[in-house]
Amino acid sequence: MTQAAVGVVVALLSEAKALGLRAPVPGFNDAAGLRVYVSGIGDVAAKLAAEKLADEGCAALLSFGTAGALDSALEPGDVVCPSTVVYMDGHAVEVDSEWRARLAARCAEADLTLVDGRLLTTRLTLLNAGIKYLARTQSQAVAVDQESSAVGDVAKARGLPFLVVRAIVDDAEATLPNAVIDGVDAYGRPKAVTMIGGLLKAPWQIAKLPGLARSFNAAQSSLREVMRAAPSFAFHS
């Protein structure tokens, strides 16, 4: 790792593949110009990952991966690069505006639009439209994830530039199948017995799976487009 590497926190192994990693593993990974830490899901894991990256001398911290839409205008594959990340209690962390502007300009050259606004971090997955509506009303956020605020807190404490890049998987009206949420581990690896058991108990969820897979593929494709447009996420001018 070089001293100037961007440290990237990503929750899921599948999300890490969008960074060009063919076989990512939990913990530290290296990609071109990036130091990547696959943290697992949640703010506690993300905070630990961000601290480890900062301890290694990374020059900046980036929260990367997928998100759920709160704004009904967003669709799977849209890329959110928020100006502000918030918790439900109103605690907010600002991203580095100059870094964000560089990335947005580089993406615009590739005809890729980054959505601005607020990103909400929650500790639980928002499973349906009703819960998402309440979260949107209270936070005024356009999208939601489970890690970015924790990464931002570490960046602020360490005096490091901070940025978020998140591609939408589920739209604001989507209902996520419990069998899928419960049927993977913290890194997104399938727990076959649990998933099959959940689908057998609620077989209506099976019909949701093809659409969810298409949405995740759209998000992954968009994240790869960002990488192609701006290697190292345009951290250096």
pLDDT score of 114: 97
How many Cα atoms within 13 Å fall on the side-chain side of residue 182? 13
4 — pLDDT class (breaks 50, 70, 90): low
The residues near 130 (Cβ < 8 Å, ≥ 6 apart) are none
* Residue 53 falls inside a structural domain: yes
What's the chain's average pLDDT?
91
Q: Which residues of 157-190 are buried (b: 16+ CB within 10 A; e: fewer)?
A: eeebbbbbbbbbbbbbebebbebbeebbeebbee
pLDDT score of 121: 96
Q: Which domain holds residue 209?
A: 6-234
pLDDT score of 1: 46
Whether 14 shows a pLDDT value over 90: the answer reads yes
Whether 108 shows a pLDDT value over 80: the answer reads yes
Residues of the chain above pLDDT 90, percent: 74
pLDDT, mean of residues 45-53: 98
Total domain count for the chain?
A: 1
In angstroms, the CA 135 to CA 131 distance is 6
pLDDT digits (tens, 9 = 90+) for 151-172: 999 999 999 999 999 999 999 9
pLDDT digits (tens, 9 = 90+) for 78-95: 999 999 999 988 889 999
Q: Which residues pair with 68 in a beta bridge?
A: 144, 170
2 — pLDDT class (breaks 50, 70, 90): very low
* Residue 96 falls inside a structural domain: yes
pLDDT, mean of residues 206-225: 88
pLDDT digits (tens, 9 = 90+) for 65-80: 999 999 999 999 999 9
* Residue 132 falls inside a structural domain: yes
* Residue 1 falls inside a structural domain: no
237 — pLDDT class (breaks 50, 70, 90): low
Say which residue, 190 or 43, is predicted with more confidence: 43
CATH of the domain at 219: 3.40.50.1580
Whether 55 shows a pLDDT value over 60: the answer reads yes
* Residue 199 falls inside a structural domain: yes
pLDDT, mean of residues 43-52: 97
Q: Is residue 222 packed enough to be buried (19+ CB in 10 Å), middle (13-18) or exposed (0-12)?
A: buried
Q: Which helix (H) or strand (E) holds 216?
A: helix 209-229
* Residue 102 falls inside a structural domain: yes
* Residue 130 falls inside a structural domain: yes
* Residue 90 falls inside a structural domain: yes
